[in-house]
Amino acid sequence: MRAAVIHAPKDIRIEEVPDPDLVEATDAIVRVTHACICGSDLWAYQGVASRRPGQRIGHEFLGVVEAAGTGVRTLKVGQAVVAPFVWSDGTCEFCQAGLQTSCVHGGFWGQVGADGGQGEAVRVPFADGTLVPLPAGLSDHDLVKVLALSDVMSTGHHAALSARVAPGSTVAVVGDGAVGLCGVLAARRLGAERIIALGRHQVRTAIAREFGATDVVAERGADAVAAVQELTGGWGAHAVIEAVGTEESMRTAIRVARPGGYVGYVGVPHGGSGGVDINTMFDNNVGLCGGVAPARAYIPELLADVLAGRLDPSPVFDVGVDLAGVPGGYAAMSDRTALKVLVRP
Amino acid sequence: MRAAVIHAPKDIRIEEVPDPDLVEATDAIVRVTHACICGSDLWAYQGVASRRPGQRIGHEFLGVVEAAGTGVRTLKVGQAVVAPFVWSDGTCEFCQAGLQTSCVHGGFWGQVGADGGQGEAVRVPFADGTLVPLPAGLSDHDLVKVLALSDVMSTGHHAALSARVAPGSTVAVVGDGAVGLCGVLAARRLGAERIIALGRHQVRTAIAREFGATDVVAERGADAVAAVQELTGGWGAHAVIEAVGTEESMRTAIRVARPGGYVGYVGVPHGGSGGVDINTMFDNNVGLCGGVAPARAYIPELLADVLAGRLDPSPVFDVGVDLAGVPGGYAAMSDRTALKVLVRP
């Protein structure tokens, strides 16, 4: 089969790789119909996160079950499924607690020895625990909406939950990438009254407004903090979503939080802890919660909303490619000429 | 009157200072019968936190209302009262939300221009909002228990709440100072099933066991992390109380938390954010919550338990002095020959 392979920073190629086989009885093989490129893939593309040359890449996909091991009980060949961005056994105490990202048998697509999502097919360990079945006959447009649940929308939802967004909340969202935009959407879904999106790219802030942002702040750093305080009577936001992962974004997020508020952070931290202003947090009792999103726990609830027509994160996909277009898709996202690239292998 | 004054690091003197007067109609004057020295006072004593020469010091006290302004509605002369370690108006939105430490008109005893708790009397702003009335006729022993609510016990309780201690929790407590010990007591009160106290001073860990610790870990750093993991089946504690405030204690606290767990931190941060291991937090979805404890919100509930004989934090006081003994009390706590010094002015 063909799949995306990362050889070095900025060197992603589409190559012929071995077809996946069932190895364990609990495996399934999924033929990928829809995949995409994540902002966190860019850390590898840009060389900030290291990869072994030849590793697969991509961790967001949905498709159809092509084969299932003898131990797979809930899925049949031909079943449409969406995968969260990690696999999980579905039975350990962390899976039972809804924290499948800490599954004792879990792993990430594209880790050494595993298939990535940007390819024609994927061997899925613990298929019963990992995959979420979809109704038959969904339109392509609905499948694109559902694809967003594999990571970006679930991650935005995790940020909003971690920030304790509640009906009536004032929310600030740091970051206008696809995760930040989905954070806006998640905050609106949870009943936020006011949503302040921090971002300066007009195409993106237009989507933020479409997703429910009531205010846009284009400033950065101290100016952004001042602008949010101005908009909130001097006190900041009850809930802050940090969707970038740099020192500056974390510092800004903590400083725009209201005393007693929470920062929900989901940007993979790449700045160390220098931006975690612990003195401001201490003085103001600002909590810092979040991390890698247990998408598997959220997909059923979010899927119900997508299928009911109440939730549509698909506007975050602004460019579509086939597998051959994946390397160009990385370049476009890295140059910020694309927001999020959809891949139809 | 006489009061403790800090002139420089390690230079605390008992001096004649002006008697406090009613300034605002909402003020009261409290004659101090019981006060104490806090671990956080030591940051000033040791020169880590700066003070203007001549500032008062001490922020934990109880006593009797000696005079009340015309605007004071809930307190009468002769009323016994306990003060939380900050004053607060009781009416602003943060006070109403139970976060009196962020009161828009609040302040700290001993700040420039204000009386400190280690003295014969204190002018109390916003007496109705700040002071909590006590029943008449409490014994000296009961008053000592109540004194602990002014800060140390309320702070331990805040740490336990911030760490989401719940019935059945496994809790780890980093720090065997008086706050850490009160954290143990608070965790037991909230129903923790297992409480692992990290500390190496046997007098203190003996109090920890008396307060409900089921295990004691004397190791530090990576060895402490390994020991806690060994005690918890490899996964760490659901709830971790960080009651020190150094880089090392924060690092240890985050690493002994179970995935999905919380660190409740109340040690005044003096190590910057270097110990906030954001990558471990992210990977494991460990939340970091806490800060300066809104003692005013907690005193009524904790007081009810003290008066009912269900809560006794008084064993944290191991040395008693009069005002003249205060400088020696600082030296003893700084040398760790005293755990917490009680002051009867």
- Whether A199 contacts A176, CB under 8 Å: yes
Nearest chain A CA: its distance from B286 CA (Å): 7
- The answer to whether the CB atoms of A260 and B99 lie below 8 A apart is yes
Assign a CATH topology to domain B2-151+294-343. Quinone Oxidoreductase; Chain A, domain 1 (3.90.180)
Q: Which residue in B275, B284, B292 is closest to A285 by CB distance?
A: B292
Nearest chain B CA: its distance from A141 CA (Å): 33
Please tell me what DSSP assigns to residue A220: -
Assign a CATH topology to domain B154-290. Rossmann fold (3.40.50)
Say how far apart CA A126 and CA A124 lie, in whole Å. 7
Q: Does B221 touch chain A (CB under 8 A)?
A: no
Q: Does A272 touch chain B (CB under 8 A)?
A: yes
Q: Does A243 touch chain B (CB under 8 A)?
A: no
Chain B residues closer than 8 Å to A99 by CB: 259-260, 285
Report in angstroms the alpha-carbon separations of A257 from A67, A168, A249, B62, B338.
49, 15, 13, 34, 39
Say how far apart CA A114 and CA A124 lie, in whole Å. 9
Say how far apart CA B122 and CA B81 lie, in whole Å. 12
Say how far apart CA B159 and CA B265 lie, in whole Å. 6
Which of A265, A285, A296 to mutate against chain B (most B CBs within 10 Å)?
A: A285
Report how many Cβ contacts below 8 Å link chain A to chain B. Answer: 93
Nearest chain B CA: its distance from A18 CA (Å): 31
Share of chain A above pLDDT 70, in %: 100
- Give me the interface pTM, i.e. the ipTM: 0.97
The answer on pLDDT for A271 being more than 80 is no
Say how far apart CA A257 and CA A260 lie, in whole Å. 8
Domain residue limits, chain B? 2-151+294-343, 154-290
- pLDDT given at position A184: 98
SS3 label, residue A324: helix
Convert the pLDDT of each residue in A88-98 to its tens digit: 999 999 999 99
Burial of A219 (C-beta count, 10 Å sphere; 0-12/13-18/19+): middle
Report in angstroms the alpha-carbon separations of A173 from A185, A247, A276, B187, B327.
11, 15, 17, 34, 49
Say how far apart CA B286 and CA B303 lie, in whole Å. 32
- The answer to whether the CB atoms of B282 and A273 lie below 8 A apart is no
Please tell me what DSSP assigns to residue B126: S
Convert the pLDDT of each residue in A174-187 to its tens digit: 999 999 999 999 99
Convert the pLDDT of each residue in A36-58 to its tens digit: 999 999 999 999 889 999 999 99
Query: Over the range A242-266, which residues count as b (16 or more CB within 10 Å of their CB) and which as e?
Result: bbbbbbebbbbbbbbbbbbbbbbbb
Chain B residues closer than 8 Å to A269 by CB: 278-279, 282
Chain A residues closer than 8 Å to B272 by CB: 278
Convert the pLDDT of each residue in A74-113 to its tens digit: 999 999 999 999 999 999 999 999 999 999 999 999 999 9
Query: Over the range A272-308, which residues count as b (16 or more CB within 10 Å of their CB) and which as e?
Result: bbbbbbbebbbbbbbbbbbbbbbbbbbbeebbeebee
Question: How many other CB atoms sit within 10 Å of the CB of residue B194?
Answer: 18
- pLDDT given at position A272: 83
- The answer to whether the CB atoms of B285 and A102 lie below 8 A apart is yes
pLDDT lower than 70: segments of chain B: none
B9 Cβ neighbours under 8 A, 6+ residues apart: B44, B45, B46, B47
- The answer to whether the CB atoms of B287 and A289 lie below 8 A apart is yes
Convert the pLDDT of each residue in A207-263 to its tens digit: 999 999 999 999 999 999 999 999 999 999 999 999 999 999 999 999 999 999 999
SS3 label, residue A51: coil
CATH number of A156-290: 3.40.50.720
Say how far apart CA A163 and CA A261 lie, in whole Å. 8
